[in-house]
A and B are shown apart, each in its own frame.
Chain A
């Protein structure tokens, strides 16, 4: 009997073995939809490397993303679609006050609530700081609150509702402190110092080329203007969500929709005081980044809650936290002074900008650097001086966002270009063409530029939107 069974199984195996691969593949396809869309049918015959001066053949054609089918089917697994066994839900209590000293935090009612597994406050955290460049941001504020979105306490509970109820049951007593809410105010010597010390300026940059004063002396006219761009929230559709999970050997796994995994590991290793080799960060499909998901945010808090509770912890920002406790684009105050010749050539430009960095540094230095480099625009200006400062204010932290400062300065120099054109009676396109970078032009940083296509781009754009007809 047993022998008979064995024989029968072998028969089945034999039959499967002889089935040609193609047949198997077809039967597989009949059973389910292909998860990945077929490759884009673009005419991308070789050479695939874009050639200088040649129109890329994909422009103007429809392109498919390799992941678009799964997006449309609802099969893409974003971070919030992941659940680990025994996972708790974390909530962070936000200060709701922009500048204050915490006098007392009472978590006893929250701790006594059934379903609450861990409560964390800033005073318990051994290394209470993090940040991608300057480590000036506390995980949970203690004792000074520097903006309304600062976390002051965190709870991990079995459900989101219980965590929220526990957060509401925590009472915090504040002693309000003076604050500073404007970047230009923050520059003044008598202003409130957000991080103590004698200044709110925490990064500065100067880029100099030629001699601006000599340039202004030669100028036919000098134009001065102040430009301002406000802070902007990235507003990704997917809120910040992360899961922290420790294994029995004391290794930490963070699942997060984050763009810079190694940076996150470095920052976590410093804050949690464990070697980077014991931290794994798994980046999930990102539901919109726009530069706002480049650094860790609530991950170390979740890791500490998970450690305390002994269970994995998920935290998800609500929409309000997304606005007040994430980073935003820097608000810029920009003063532009530009000297031009009679025929509309820029011969000197002085730029002074003050960036509103909010309460903590985040990616301010990178933003400031890029803004200063690009502040003279795509124009050949023999004499230029750009100075930039980032200041602390008691507002939402400003960080990286698409362009890292480039769009802000672009708004300023292009606005001024239009003012100059109008005043000199030169066509706005013409004045730009006269000043634009050419092959071999030198930028304000002294870089000699090659493959310069900015003139062609503008001419092409002018043709496409019918500028000639309009003017």
Chain B
């Protein structure tokens, strides 16, 4: 079956078997390997992508269910001009160690910040409950999300210079 998605602002389509998950479609058919296969059953969150503004486990969504929707993956966050504030802060705070959970954590955090620009630490923890990390102990990630949120709220922030409006502002559903 033909599935057509808007992935990172680009219209992409692929012919996939009906049992194909969104994760397999992204990784194997569209060659976007940023979302990872950690458990393939929706436990670990390493495959998190944003579908129509909501963070979803790509391993639990069929590609067909995403047909016609807008998907943002980790590859769609940075622009030529710079990193997304979350990517910048995660790099600076050492929030990623082996990095395998990183794309998922960043996408979940982005979805959170799009809806809640000023999250409390508890809100960040709640948002990240679906993302397992075995290396960091989460502390630096939570600090990182808070820092990125502050950076995104301040209009003078150098991190946002040259940021495309689609990324700086919450995604429209």
Q: Which residues of A contact B (CB under 8 A)?
A: 30-33, 37, 62-65, 67-78, 80-81, 83, 161, 234-239, 285-290, 316, 318-319
Interface pair A72/B96, CB less than 8 Å apart: yes
Interface residue SS majority, chain B:
loop
Interface pair A288/B135, CB less than 8 Å apart: yes
Residue pairs across A and B with CB atoms within 8 Å: the count is 116
Chain A residues positioned under 8 Å from B90 (CB to CB): 68, 71-72
Contact of B40 among A67, A81, A318 (CB under 8 A): A318
Chain A residues positioned under 8 Å from B99 (CB to CB): 67-68, 70-72, 76, 285, 287
Interface pair B133/A33, CB less than 8 Å apart: no
Query: A287-B36, A290-B134, A319-B43 are known contacts. Are A71 and B94 too (CB-CB below 8 A)?
Result: no
Q: Which of B39, B83, B102 has the most CB of A within 10 A?
A: B102
User: B91: CB under 8 A from chain A?
Assistant: yes
Chain B residues positioned under 8 Å from A80 (CB to CB): 33, 36-37
Interface pair B74/A237, CB less than 8 Å apart: no
- CB-nearest residue of chain B to A69: B91
| Number of B residues with CB within 8 Å of any CB on chain A | 45
Interface pair A81/B33, CB less than 8 Å apart: yes
How long is the Cα–Cα vector from A62 to B28 in the complex, in angstroms?
36
Interface pair A319/B41, CB less than 8 Å apart: yes
Interface pair B78/A237, CB less than 8 Å apart: no
How long is the Cα–Cα vector from A161 to B92 in the complex, in angstroms?
40
> Could you give, for residues 81-115 of chain B, a 1 whenever the CB lies within 8 Å of some chain A CB and a 0 otherwise?
01100110011111011111111001000000000
- CB-nearest residue of chain A to B34: A74
Interface pair B19/A71, CB less than 8 Å apart: no
Interface pair B102/A71, CB less than 8 Å apart: yes
Interface pair A237/B46, CB less than 8 Å apart: yes
Q: Which residues of B contact A (CB under 8 A)?
A: 17, 19, 27-28, 32-41, 43-44, 46, 73-75, 77-78, 80, 82-83, 86-87, 90-94, 96-103, 106, 132-135
Chain B residues positioned under 8 Å from A285 (CB to CB): 98-99
- CB-nearest residue of chain A to B76: A74
30 CB < 8 A contacts A-B? A31-B80, A37-B91, A64-B91, A64-B92, A68-B90, A68-B91, A68-B96, A69-B87, A71-B96, A72-B74, A72-B86, A72-B87, A72-B90, A72-B106, A73-B83, A74-B32, A75-B34, A78-B36, A81-B33, A234-B134, A235-B134, A236-B134, A237-B44, A237-B132, A238-B36, A239-B38, A287-B99, A289-B98, A319-B39, A319-B40
Chain A residues positioned under 8 Å from B103 (CB to CB): 74
Chain A residues positioned under 8 Å from B19 (CB to CB): 161
How long is the Cα–Cα vector from A9 to B94 in the complex, in angstroms?
48
Chain B residues positioned under 8 Å from A238 (CB to CB): 36, 38, 98, 100
Interface pair A73/B78, CB less than 8 Å apart: yes
Q: Which of B37, B99, B100, B102 has the most CB of A within 10 A?
A: B99
How long is the Cα–Cα vector from A72 to B109 in the complex, in angstroms?
12
How long is the Cα–Cα vector from A234 to B134 in the complex, in angstroms?
9
Interface pair A32/B100, CB less than 8 Å apart: no
Contact of A78 among B40, B100, B132 (CB under 8 A): B100
How long is the Cα–Cα vector from A32 to B82 in the complex, in angstroms?
9
Interface pair B92/A65, CB less than 8 Å apart: no
How long is the Cα–Cα vector from A80 to B46 in the complex, in angstroms?
13
How long is the Cα–Cα vector from A286 to B100 in the complex, in angstroms?
8
Chain A residues positioned under 8 Å from B33 (CB to CB): 74, 77, 80-81
Chain A residues positioned under 8 Å from B38 (CB to CB): 237-239, 319
Given contacts A33-B83, A69-B91, A237-B101, 9 further A-B contacts (CB under 8 A): A71-B99, A72-B83, A74-B33, A74-B73, A80-B36, A238-B36, A287-B100, A288-B134, A319-B43
Interface pair A72/B94, CB less than 8 Å apart: no
Interface pair A72/B91, CB less than 8 Å apart: yes
Chain A residues positioned under 8 Å from B44 (CB to CB): 237, 319
Interface pair A65/B101, CB less than 8 Å apart: no
Interface pair B106/A65, CB less than 8 Å apart: no
CB distance from A413 to the nearest CB of B (A): 25
CB distance from A470 to the nearest CB of B (A): 23
